[in-house]
Homo-oligomer: A and B are copies of this chain.
Amino acid sequence: MLNSQKKPQTRVEFALDYITKEIAQGNLRAGDKLPNEKDLAEQLGISRTPIREAMKTLAVAGLIDIRHGHGSYVREEKGAPALPLNLFQLYLQDSTPEMLMELRDIFDRNCSELAAQRRTDEDLARMRECIDRLKALTEQPDASLDDMLKADLDFHRAIYEATGNKLIMTVAEFVLNMVAPWVRKSLDVSGRVRAVDLHEQIYDAILKQEIGPQNRMSVDANMQHFMQSLDQE
């Protein structure tokens, strides 16, 4: 857990350490372009190989973006880990949709309470917009499922953002990425109407700052419908 004694550092760790500190100390800011791999290698007195592995590590961790033929850049928002999709599959392989939704509920419930206490007008406006967007999509028959999914997820993101806790957003984004495929499935014709309803209720509660244990029933009800929709397949 705490290892502040190790001296025999590997080259990759050395490079990782260097770049990490450059970012932490503000020498490299969000959006900045990192030196190219060749220069960095010479600068640190090591070869490109460990540099590249360090970069790859940072990219997977969601801290930088590597663009072929262009360069590497510090990410604007460190919120969204850049794990490849197939890696998520592995995390999910032993898990059921129930587990997933349970996990998301843990966030939604408590975050709604926090959001109710702290939400700004901008937060409310953002939520309102997401609901309206999803509602509009719901009413047009040829709407794209992906667009609806985005509207749905954006609403939840707005809640997390309203907590004012960036750390929560980081972890919540991770969870959102995992549940996304199932949320998408649940957005069938009856599910999408339900989703709008649920969002409206949550929004209303956050608006009136009435969120509390007693308001949880609607979320539970939605959970039940979600499970039923899965059984129908």
Contact = CB atoms under 8 A, between A and B. Distances in A.
Interface string A202-233: 00000000001100000000000000000000
A165 interface: yes
A93 interface: yes
Interface residues of A, number: 63
Given A16-B84, A49-B49, A103 B171 contact: yes
Interface stretch (A35-43, A107-115, A128-136): A107-115
Nearest to A164: B99
B165 A175 contact: no
A189 interface: no
Interface in A1-60: 1-3, 12-13, 16-17, 20-21, 23-24, 49, 52-53, 56-58, 60
A84 to B, nearest CB: 6
Contacts of A90: 20, 23-24, 63, 78
A171 B168 contact: no
Nearest to A180: B1
A84 B168 contact: no
Nearest to A49: B49
Given A56-B53, A60-B61, A84-B13, A106 B110 contact: yes
Nearest to A79: B91
Interface of A: 1-3, 12-13, 16-17, 20-21, 23-24, 49, 52-53, 56-58, 60-61, 63, 78, 83-87, 89-95, 99-100, 102-103, 105-107, 109-111, 114, 146, 149-150, 163, 165-168, 170-171, 174-175, 177-178, 180-181, 184, 212-213
